[in-house]
Amino acid sequence: MVGAGPAGLIASQYLVRAGYKVSIIEEHKSIGRPVSCSGLIGRDFFDHFKQFDFEDSIKNRIDGAKIFLGTDSFELKRKGVSFVVDRAIFDQSLSNGLEVSLDEKFQAFERKNETIFVKTNKRRFNTDLLIGADGPSSRVRAQEFEFNLKHYKGYQVRIKSDLDLDNFVEVHIQRPFFTWIIPEGNGIFRIGTVSNNPKETLGRFLEEREIKSEPIEIQAGVIPVGKGNIYSDKVFLLGDAACQVKPLSGGGVYYGALAAEALANSIISGRYSDYPLQCNKLLGKEISRGLIFRRTYENMTDNEIYKVFNFLKSKKQVLDDSGKFDEHSRTILSLIKDHRSISFLPLIFKAYLRTL
Ligand SMILES: Cc1cc2nc3c(=O)[nH]c(=O)nc-3n(C[C@H](O)[C@H](O)[C@H](O)COP(=O)(O)OP(=O)(O)OC[C@H]3O[C@@H](n4cnc5c(N)ncnc54)[C@H](O)[C@@H]3O)c2cc1C
């Protein structure tokens, strides 16, 4: 297993519990650090992965979102829709009982007959199966896999402030993604954005909001958005390495964890090629449609974005009742299917056509 992030650790937990010997190599000196994540994880994740203990990592409960376009806004409410975690503690709790070789960097692999030879900065060893759970800039992926993907740059600060958000996150629509404010608790906020120059974009945002305090911590990372092959002759890609992220928000912990479970099951059953099939069943539609919605979103004019925002605002009740934190495209489709949305469809279609 290359990479001791949540995806690699969850797959390893299942495999070790089933009696497999898993060698996990991690390039950093400690698990979960440096953090490059906002740590906002939907309730469905915690309901699904009940067998792991995340209690120590949970910092705050989120009860909804305030969505902004400029100064205009509307509020969506759902008690306990998601939780804010300390990603370092979260990852460390997933490593309980596992042996991880730290400070060891995967460099390359080679196949000879039935065996896979792995080269790291410290040694060479052989293995029957290789899993690349080595994050957004996966070396395992780069060596052999065909992928159509784009990397988006994210930048976030943790800051002490007297912002009055209670348990709500703020989402400021700002393409290609959005700018977020997440209350971590104890007067600390995680404020971040994604853009070509996210540090500069965030600086401007903080200035406009007159948020002046010095950051307690700065976190940066990339989000891989795209699609490709995730299995080839006993070598698997998992998590961010496999672009198992929500294309609209970039959140990847839940999708990577679902894929980790599917991967462990396919290895335990001995049917390795089930893995891509299962992932397609679990995540395929959300990711494919999410990619279309992302391209459409990026190609909209400001005026179209304004109309979409007002449309969403008018559908606040539908979003409150049936919006899904981890299934964006299903949420969008249920909005579009509403007969009152017919007049709105040509706008989306026009923006979509511009992406072709
Ligand atoms: C700014 C930002 C904010 C985000 N916010 C959220 C959020 O709020 N919620 C959410 O769900 N997702 C969020 N994400 C995405 C989330 O962080 C990832 O989807 C998630 O961490 C993927 O888990 P993973 O295990 O696949 O990969 P990672 O967590 O990236 O783990 C991969 C591991 O592999 C190791 N590694 C890499 N290369 C090598 C190598 N050559 N040899 C050995 N080890 C190696 C790395 O050190 C790392 O520990 C965010 C991402 C960014 C950039």
pTM of the model: 0.94
Note the pLDDT of residue 67.
94
Q: Classify residue 187 as exposed, middle or buried by CB count within 10 Å of its CB (0-12, 13-18, 19+).
A: exposed
Domain boundaries, the chain: 6-290, 291-353
What pLDDT is attached to residue 355? 74
The topology (CATH level 3) of 6-290 is FAD/NAD(P)-binding domain (3.50.50)
pLDDT at 123: 97
Q: Give the closest residue (by CA) to ligand 1 atom 26.
A: 239
36, 221 in Cβ contact below 8 A? yes
Q: How far is the CA of 204 from the centre of ligand 1 (A)?
A: 26
Residue 63, both tokens: 């009860």
Provide the sign of the torsion angle of the four alpha carbons 225, 318, 42, 168, taken in this order. Answer: positive
Cα-to-centroid distance, 43 and ligand 1 (Å): 19
Q: Give the Å distance between the CA of 244 and the centre of ligand 1.
A: 11
pLDDT digits (tens, 9 = 90+) for 141-189: 999 999 999 999 999 999 999 998 889 999 999 999 999 999 999 999 9
pLDDT digits (tens, 9 = 90+) for 234-243: 999 999 999 9
What ligand 1 atom has the least distance to the C-alpha of 31? Answer: 49
Pick the residue whose CA is nearest to atom 1 on ligand 1.
Answer: 154
Q: What tokens were used for 262?
A: 């599917």
Residue with tokens 């070598």: 235
* Separation of CA 212 and ligand 1 centre (Å): 29
Name the β-bridge partners of 75. 66
Atom of ligand 1 nearest to the CA of 153: 53
Q: Three-class SS string for the chain?
A: CECCCHHHHHHHHHHHHCCCCCCEECCCCCCCCCCCCCCEEEHHHHHHCCCCCCHHHEEEEEEEEEEEECCEEEEEEEEEEEEEECHHHHHHHHCCCCCEECCCCEEEEEEECCEEEEEECCCEEEECCEEECCCCCCHHHHHHCCEEEEEEEEEEEEEECCCCCCCEEEEEEECCEEEEEEEEECCEEEEEEECCCHHHHHHHHHHHCCCCCCEEEEEEEEEEEEEECCEECCEEECHHHHCCCCCCCCCCHHHHHHHHHHHHHHHHHCCCCHHHHHHHHHHHHHHHHHHHHHHHHHHCCHHHHHHHHHHHHHCHHHHHHHCCCCCHHHHHHHHHHCHHHHHHHHHHHHHHHCCC
- Token readout for 134 is 């080595």
Say how many Å lie between the CA of residue 228 and the centre of ligand 1. Answer: 18
**What is the CB < 6 Å shell around ligand 1?**
2-8, 25-28, 36-41, 105-106, 133-135, 139, 154, 156, 192, 221-223, 239-240, 245, 250-254, 256
Beta pairing, strands 168-174 & 58-69:
parallel
Residue 12 phi, psi (nearest 5): -65, -40
pLDDT at 323: 72
For the CA of 8, the closest atom of ligand 1 is: 25
- pLDDT reported for residue 164: 87
Phi then psi for residue 248, to 5 deg, are -85, -35
Provide CB contacts within 8 A for 219, sequence distance 6+.
34, 35, 36, 37, 155, 156, 157, 158, 192
The two structure tokens encoding residue 285: 């539609």
Can you tell me which atom of ligand 1 is nearest the CA of 6?
Answer: 25
Q: Give the pLDDT of residue 312.
A: 84
Cβ(92)–Cβ(53) under 8 Å?
Answer: no
Q: Which amino acid is at 300?
A: M
- Pocket test of ligand 1: the residue of 36, 40, 225 to mutate, having most ligand atoms within 8 Å of its CB, is 36
Distance CA 169, CA 316 (A): 16
Atom number of ligand 1 nearest to Cα 40: 8
Q: How far is CA 142 from CA 229, 230, 255, 323, in A?
A: 12, 12, 21, 36
Which pLDDT tens digits describe the chain residue by residue (356 residues)?
Answer: 999 999 999 999 999 999 999 999 999 999 999 999 999 999 999 999 999 999 999 999 999 999 999 999 999 999 999 999 999 999 999 999 999 999 999 999 999 988 999 999 999 999 999 999 999 999 999 999 999 999 999 999 999 999 988 899 999 999 999 999 999 999 999 999 999 999 999 999 999 999 988 899 999 999 999 999 999 999 999 999 999 999 999 999 999 999 999 999 999 999 999 999 999 999 999 999 999 989 989 999 999 999 889 888 887 777 777 777 777 777 777 777 776 677 677 777 777 787 77
Closest residue (by CA) to atom 52 of ligand 1? 37
Q: Which atom of ligand 1 lies nearest, measured to the CA of 45?
A: 11
pLDDT reported for residue 311: 84
Q: Which atom of ligand 1 is nearest to the CA of 28?
A: 47
Whose C-alpha lies nearest to ligand 1, atom 4?
37
Residue 59 vs residues 89, 90, 314: alpha-carbon distances, Å: 10, 11, 32
For residue 350, how far is its CA from the centre of ligand 1 (angstroms)? 35
- Give the whole-angstrom CA distance, residue 30 versus residue 11: 19
Length of the chain equals 356
